[in-house]
Amino acid sequence: MDLQRIVEETWNELADERGSGNPARYIPALALVDPRKFGIALATREGEVFCAGDADEQFSIQSISKVFALALALERHGPGLWEAVGREPSGDPFNSIVQLEREKGIPRNPFINSGAIVTTDRFVDDRTPEQAVGDLMSRLRRMGRDESINFDEDVARSESETGSRNRSLAYFLADFGRLMNPVEDVLSVYFRQCALAMSCRQLAESSLFLPFDGTDPVTGQEMCSPSRSRRINALMLLCGHYDNSGQFAFEVGVPGKSGVGGGILASVPGRASIAVWSPGLNRAGTSMLGAKALSSIALKTGWSVFSGRPPQI
Amino acid sequence: MDLQRIVEETWNELADERGSGNPARYIPALALVDPRKFGIALATREGEVFCAGDADEQFSIQSISKVFALALALERHGPGLWEAVGREPSGDPFNSIVQLEREKGIPRNPFINSGAIVTTDRFVDDRTPEQAVGDLMSRLRRMGRDESINFDEDVARSESETGSRNRSLAYFLADFGRLMNPVEDVLSVYFRQCALAMSCRQLAESSLFLPFDGTDPVTGQEMCSPSRSRRINALMLLCGHYDNSGQFAFEVGVPGKSGVGGGILASVPGRASIAVWSPGLNRAGTSMLGAKALSSIALKTGWSVFSGRPPQI
Amino acid sequence: MDLQRIVEETWNELADERGSGNPARYIPALALVDPRKFGIALATREGEVFCAGDADEQFSIQSISKVFALALALERHGPGLWEAVGREPSGDPFNSIVQLEREKGIPRNPFINSGAIVTTDRFVDDRTPEQAVGDLMSRLRRMGRDESINFDEDVARSESETGSRNRSLAYFLADFGRLMNPVEDVLSVYFRQCALAMSCRQLAESSLFLPFDGTDPVTGQEMCSPSRSRRINALMLLCGHYDNSGQFAFEVGVPGKSGVGGGILASVPGRASIAVWSPGLNRAGTSMLGAKALSSIALKTGWSVFSGRPPQI
Amino acid sequence: MDLQRIVEETWNELADERGSGNPARYIPALALVDPRKFGIALATREGEVFCAGDADEQFSIQSISKVFALALALERHGPGLWEAVGREPSGDPFNSIVQLEREKGIPRNPFINSGAIVTTDRFVDDRTPEQAVGDLMSRLRRMGRDESINFDEDVARSESETGSRNRSLAYFLADFGRLMNPVEDVLSVYFRQCALAMSCRQLAESSLFLPFDGTDPVTGQEMCSPSRSRRINALMLLCGHYDNSGQFAFEVGVPGKSGVGGGILASVPGRASIAVWSPGLNRAGTSMLGAKALSSIALKTGWSVFSGRPPQI
């Protein structure tokens, strides 16, 4: 299979639609991004990375960071995390608080905002916010093989200043006694984590542990056990796009996680890690062109976790 | 891989737990079933069926029938079905009406009861209830290669007599103008569909189109297109166990559909179709031993749609 | 106080607005009513009835009947009714089912549809539907001092034919075991009760027990104890207009009960019973002109249960 | 009517039940209050105050302060307040956030916590928190004719330290743009307002404007217009006890407002203002003995806004 050709063809077919969808505007740093940006990067087991468009430009990965935070929180805190956060789709938007009241402060899953705040709290554990952020950065730099990976300070500050909804969710969790650390400490890590700036290439490379049973097949670095990586993939498939997860599974057919910065990370078990970026979002906060690109790559490659065709490797 | 050994070992390991969980008791016909029944059947591409325990005894497949009804409704009515029913996990129990009010009579997905009632209505289409039931039976007999497959009249009658919640859901849908046919006509088909009696072997064999891209690999019979079978698998993974779907995906890792009769049907894309049966249910209405058996088989075979290991065929 | 002048002035001031609001159209019999109808009747302790406009024309009293049904159910079944239906405002529309699921089939109050269905069921008690309807009619004829009071058979039939939502609510209640009688029996009484045809004059006269501590001050007929009539007034004030009850209490300041036929019954404790009728409804299903008329009469008379002024009688 | 005797008899009848119910324990200052405290004060138009028990001991009036805050916010900000907060019962507990999400940050009424936070925000208006608190204190001292009325600094500090739920509600409101002032400014006033310490006597005297059309009948001080005081009474009756308001209206029959400190303020239009205090609460956060005392006084005096009996003064 000529993956470079597939990636390029996909980019070309969709190039005319650049600018469609609605970019997030709630903070200036996101609103200022050129809505016509469009990048694709596909990384394989063999260490190859096939790119198109703005694949090397960094963008705010936002909620995609929840995948890394989950892996690291499980590593640090262990399965006890699952006593504080569920593993079921919520059927609600990313920032909904309704379910949280009904279920006494146990978020449905680690990918809705409330669940991600709990996850970040458990990743912080008994450390200071600075120690936790330092650890997060060094881990991502190692996984992405790039010492320059960092969070965007402007974005982090803006997130904090405009973060009333997340603050409301965090205090709600605190009211139920669900946080180990003070609300503002947890949020200070959460806002920086969401402000991580990475390129499609960096994202695809640093997440190869997901499709390959927990271990980066290129560097041999183990991020988690095979069973844990499968479970993270399961959560991505069921909950990675909030109340649009079913639609994504239906159209694309592989685990994915979207961010309001316009990025989507897809994990194709046994095959590849794919990152796409285009700022315009659909109603549910998923990149419109990004989802189309992944759908097209899935069609062209025949990749789908639901496919019965014998693998073509 | 010695699948017969895996199936038997799984059965033996769990045999002592027969009778655990709570069998459905809302109708006499279900309450009378021996709670210690336990069967497993695994059907492969090559036409082999590996069995253990009560794999040849028929039981009430209940909501597993929603998978067949969905495939047939899509065949008859086309993708217009998706205007009347969604494709997202609901986050609510199987018989919840809350979401239905908020979303003006559009059920979240075809596997919760309200969505299944709409699906059945579209399968009935412009036919009489008797014609629709006749069509359903002849299709299932062909797929299961067994002319004796039928619904249990006692169960169907009991379902109808005790079906106040389903009747409530159906009238609610009718109030929003979501049904093509009269409520009692739709329900008369729905209750008979839920009362289908099949054995694990029959279930596994008749559902081979699911893991094999829409076509029974043994008979060559085409049930639906590859794309449609992948989508049905996606819906099963995301919504097949109501508000327990995340847990099932997390533990088992393959598409499945449970029924309150204690059956679970699992589709392992590219590998096999597996049916298990044990009447005791967990809180969410999924067979307790059945889920454990599938989890064990998944572990032993390494089968998971989220696994990155190269296939071993 | 010249009550005849107040009633006439009120009518005249609002006459130009006749036809405003949206009449109920869900059944032909209601859709055919002249939207410009407008009647007022005010009955006092002394037996006087002050009228204006179409005060002697019968209309479909619809949900106003729930007040009589409540009084009669309490009389027949006693305070045991309160085990099956609550006494709190629901904060939801009249036909909402959401709260019912959450609170396991106990309706919030007897004036939302689900609560009224339970109330009717307890009024039917161990009788046939025909006996219950016969009893209801004879009671209303006695209270209204008019043997011609009856229900409209066309309206009752249409209600039954189009009553999917009420049927859904009733089956939902039945599913929780909240009804003593078969669903269709209860509904057959409920639909006839809602189809009662009365004029403003008849309504005002037959409900004098409400403002006068349970006993009609003109005939001396005792309908219920003082404590019970006060409680029915309390329920009317808190729940008589569904999710518009606060607005009505705020603007008008006396207990009232609206019906989608455009009628409103108001009880002014110690003073009068007032019935108004104008088919055009507001968003919450309360007669738009009717509410304005009652508000104007309240202003002109100074009548309000929240007023500190010494009574002027 | 011998009101002193009625007040004393009521106290005596209930004295044995002192200590029943569950006092609020969420802050130390409330948990330390002797649960056997029990006071009653009844103030009349003529300036008489009839007392029993601990009527002169100050306690934390908590949510009763919402009544004063509402009157002052309306005075300062005018009816524009009603664009930011509704006037309907919520059907939910005092601190629920569910409705707030669904209705986009417009609280149902000014007596649930979210609505009270908005009300306080509008009372603050364009002033500093200190100016607003100063104004509140001077107004209450004038109305209560007691310069010593103040808030309890310990309670206010504890409220702030443990106020995660209220903080969550406030940030939620801020996220919808519903607050004029910064969240922490509004909360600093809100927590001090809730920490107001007053005795039954002071409460009863300072709230005489409620039953007497907006003007204190003793001092002649006008707090608000007759129409506004009636509306505040209406809101108290419908929403003064959260999801227990119907029960209170049903049992007591007059407008009231409860606080978790165990106080209840009741306004009997045209008759009296009554304050009771006993720390033990029922499930809905209303003083158990307090509600019984008011119910008993209502029975003995015949006072009820729903009574048809001619006034006996």
Contact (Cβ atoms closer than 8 angstroms) between residue C245 and residue C97 = no
C241, C247 contact by CB (below 8 A): yes
pLDDT in tens, C124-142: 999 999 999 999 999 999 9
Fold classification of B3-60+197-301 is Beta-lactamase (3.40.710)
Q: Do B3-60+197-301 and B63-196 show the same overall fold?
A: yes
CATH of B63-196, one of 3.10.450.200, 3.40.710.10, 3.40.50.2300, 3.40.50.300: 3.40.710.10
Antiparallel, parallel or unpaired: β D263-268 and C39-44: unpaired
pLDDT (0 to 100) of residue D312: 45
What pLDDT is recorded for position D94? 80
pLDDT in tens, B175-209: 999 999 999 999 999 999 999 999 999 999 999 99
The answer on pLDDT for C148 being more than 50 is yes
* Amino acid C310: pLDDT: 59
What are the pLDDT digits (tens) for C158-192? 999 999 999 999 999 999 999 999 999 999 999 99
Single-letter amino acid code for the residue at B250: F
The mean pLDDT of B124-150, rounded to a whole number, is: 95
Top-level CATH class of A3-62+197-301? alpha beta
Find chain C residues with C-beta within 8 A of B182's C-beta.
Answer: none
Q: How many CB pairs below 8 A link B and C?
A: 51
What is the mean pLDDT of the segment spanning C260-278? 97
Element (H, E) at A43: strand A39-44
Q: What percent of chain D has pLDDT over 70?
A: 99
What pLDDT sits at residue D258?
Answer: 97
Annotated binding site of D for substrate: 63, 113, 159, 166, 190, 242, 260
Q: What percent of chain C has pLDDT over 70?
A: 99
Q: Quick one: pLDDT at residue B310?
A: 59
Written as one string, the DSSP assignment of D118-157 is HHHHHHHTTS-HHHHHHHHHHHHHHHTT-TT-EE-HHHHH
Fold designation for C64-194: Beta-lactamase (3.40.710)
What CATH number does the domain located at C3-60+198-301 have? 3.40.710.10
pLDDT score at C289? 97
Can you tell me the mean pLDDT for D111-127?
97
**Which tokens go with A147?**
């010492």
Number of Cβ within 10 Å of residue B218's Cβ equals 17
Q: Select from B97, B174, B183 the Cβ nearest to the Cβ of C172.
A: B97
Distance from C-alpha of A208 to C-alpha of A267, rounded to nearest angstrom: 8
Q: Please check whether the domain covering D3-59+199-301 is classified as CATH 2.40.40.20.
A: no
In this complex, the residue of D98, D170, D171 whose CB is nearest that of residue A101 is D98
Chain A positions in Cβ-Cβ contact with residue B91 (cut-off 8 Å)? 88-92, 99, 108
> ipTM score of the complex?
0.94
pLDDT at site C219: 93
Three state DSSP letters for B211-263: CCCCECCCCCCECCCHHHHHHHHHHHHHHCCHHHHHHHHHHCCCCEEECCCCE
Kindly tell me if the per-residue pLDDT of B312 is higher than 60. Answer: no
Residues in chain B: 313
Q: Do D169 and A168 touch (CB under 8 A)?
A: yes
Specify the 3-state DSSP secondary structure of C129: helix
- Cα-Cα end-to-end distance for chain C: 8
Q: For chain B, which residues make up each domain, given as ranges?
A: 3-60+197-301, 63-196
Question: Which residues on adjacent β-strands are paired with residue C268?
Answer: C272
Residue pair D114/D107 in contact (Cβ under 8 Å)? The answer is yes
Q: What is the 3-state secondary structure (H, E, C) of A242-280?
A: HHHHHHHHHHCCCCEEECCCCEEEEEECCCEEEEEECCC
> Which chain D residues touch A if contact means CB-CB below 8 Å?
96-98, 101-102, 164-165, 167-172, 174-175, 183
- For residue A95, give the amino acid letter: N
Res. D310 pLDDT band, cuts 50 70 90: low
Q: CA–CA separation, D109 vs C91, rounded Å?
A: 11
| Average pLDDT value for residue range D36-63 | 97
* Axis crossing angle, helix C226-239 with helix C65-77, rounded to the nearest 10: 140
Coil, strand or helix: which one is C102? helix
Segments of chain A scoring below 70 in pLDDT: 310-313
Helix and strand numbers (H, E) in chain C are: 13, 8
Query: pLDDT at position C309, please?
Result: 78
Nearest CA in chain B to A107: B91
**Active-site residue identified among A190, A199, A278, A296:** A190
Alpha helices, DSSP H, located in chain C: 3-14, 28-31, 65-77, 98-102, 113-124, 129-144, 153-161, 164-175, 183-194, 200-206, 226-239, 245-251, 288-301
**Average pLDDT of B207-219?**
96
Cα separation, B268 vs B262, whole angstroms: 19
Encoded amino acid at B236, one letter: M
Q: Return the C-alpha torsion angle B104, B108, B110, B115, nearest 10.
A: -30
Question: Phi and psi dihedrals of B90, rounded to 5?
Answer: -95, -25
Mean pLDDT, rounded, for D145-172: 94
- B313 has a pLDDT exceeding 80: no
**If we measure between CA atoms, which residue out of D174, B93, D16, C99 comes closest to residue A91?**
B93
pLDDT tens by residue, B48-72: 999 999 999 999 999 999 999 999 9
How much is the average pLDDT of C31-41?
96
Nearest CA in chain D to A175: D164
pLDDT mean over D200-228: 96
Instruction: Please give the Cα distance from C71 to C68 (Å, whole number).
Output: 5
Calculate mean pLDDT across residues C41-57. Answer: 97
Alpha carbons B238 and A255: distance in angstroms, whole number: 11
Q: What is the DSSP secondary structure assignment for residue D180, as one 8-state letter?
A: S
CA distance D186 to D194: 12
Mean pLDDT of chain D: 95
The pLDDT score that the predictor gives to residue A267 is 98
> In which residue are the tokens 């005797």 written?
D5
